Structure 1
Amino acid sequence: MCDVHPPLTGVSLVGPTPVMPQVPAASDLPPGFMTLSEEEHSAMVRRQPIEKYYEIYPTPISTGQWASVYKCRRLGTELEFAAKFCSKSRLGLDARREIVHEMAAMLRCRRCPRVVQLHELFETEQQYILVMELGSGGDLQGILDNNQVPYEADVVRFMRSLLEGLAFLHERSIAHLDIKPQNLVLTGAFPDCDIKLCDLEISRVISPAQDIREMLGTPDYVCKLALHSQAPLLRCA
């Protein structure tokens, strides 16, 4: 697990962040990655402490190897969001390329009602923090873990929302590449809710000018053929 935000105690497992250039240059990116220009990065990313603007709730909504998500509240309001704390360094390697790619992908999805929206960005010496739309009902995996079975009408509604979100991404030449119940968040209490697609970190832009050969996705949800072969080739049809 990565560092967490300053109010929480704990020991970092990633060590000090190496000295890095400000933003990964587009010319240095592998096929399929997006980035921000220096001007976009400077205009969008706050460098003040996030606690100046948000109250961070102490218990994480979810945790991963390199990121943790916390519920937060905009100070002076009752508006709640999800704050994703992402470590810039992973096993001693610069991971900002992947995080900035996720930022750029989310910015391409602005105004799409089927994809979780990005509200604000913060940066510290060791982390990027993405303040995003909150899925107040948790994720679809939580529903399945609680042995709650959606009715057919709910499944139809959820599938329609998912496919509309994927169509929006595909119209912009973005492949999500990690569709799973954990990445489908609920907009409210189940079953009176909708779903939204989240987590674009391993998405890729597919273009005729580039071939992408990477092993991506979550093993439990990747097809068996891909797990037992070389990295699949991603290419525009």
Structure 2
Amino acid sequence: MTKRPSKPIFEKVAICLSVISLAYLLLVTAFFQVYQDEQFYINQYEKNGAATTLGKENATAITENLLTYLNTEKYVYEDKGKLTYFTESEKSHLADVKQIFNILSDLYYLSLLIVTFSIIWLITQTKRWQHSLATILFYGGIISIAFILLLLLAVALNFDKAFLTFHELLFPQGNYSFPHDSLLKTLYPDTFFVSFTYRIIFYVVLSSILATFAGFTWKKHLKKKST
């Protein structure tokens, strides 16, 4: 007769899954926070010259239509008039981008469910649930900071190489390269993505430090309370 897995094993699994899921939530929340910020786009257009080349109103209107395309009708990849100004190759690339964003979104909600159900299970089924939650906060923050440090190292060593590798991984079909005078390159030159990346890093580091500090303080408080 086989033994049933003991509760401590389930507890460790719940904590590990929650730590990974929390780290993912911290990273992707920061990404979507920047990605959805229309004012960030407008500020970048003024810096990179797109506002002058296309006109500020045109650049803003194109962006609004693009964000509408990416954010609505989740699994519909036809542009339905939202990508009128883009070429067919640009539309193909944007459809791939939308697909990736959908995957990020699906994994986001899956991670949210994992964290939620794990916390409920830990609270209802274990005695040391406060220690478990403090551990999740602490290590979730640590992992996301570690990821950001690796990203910063890659960018610092060779941004162009890191950028190319990133695109080759996400778009293996190779439809990510466009002429400098294309609409996508006019709106989103390399400098745009540098600013985009650093803004994400700022939000991730901020939220991760808060999570790590909260977890550390909570663990310290519980340790003092038990002595």
Q: TM-score, normalised by structure 2?
A: 0.23
Larger relative contact order (C-alpha < 8 A, sep ≥ 6)?
2
Q: TM-score, normalised by structure 1?
A: 0.22
Which protein has the bigger helix share?
2
The structure having more radius of gyration, on CA atoms, is: 2
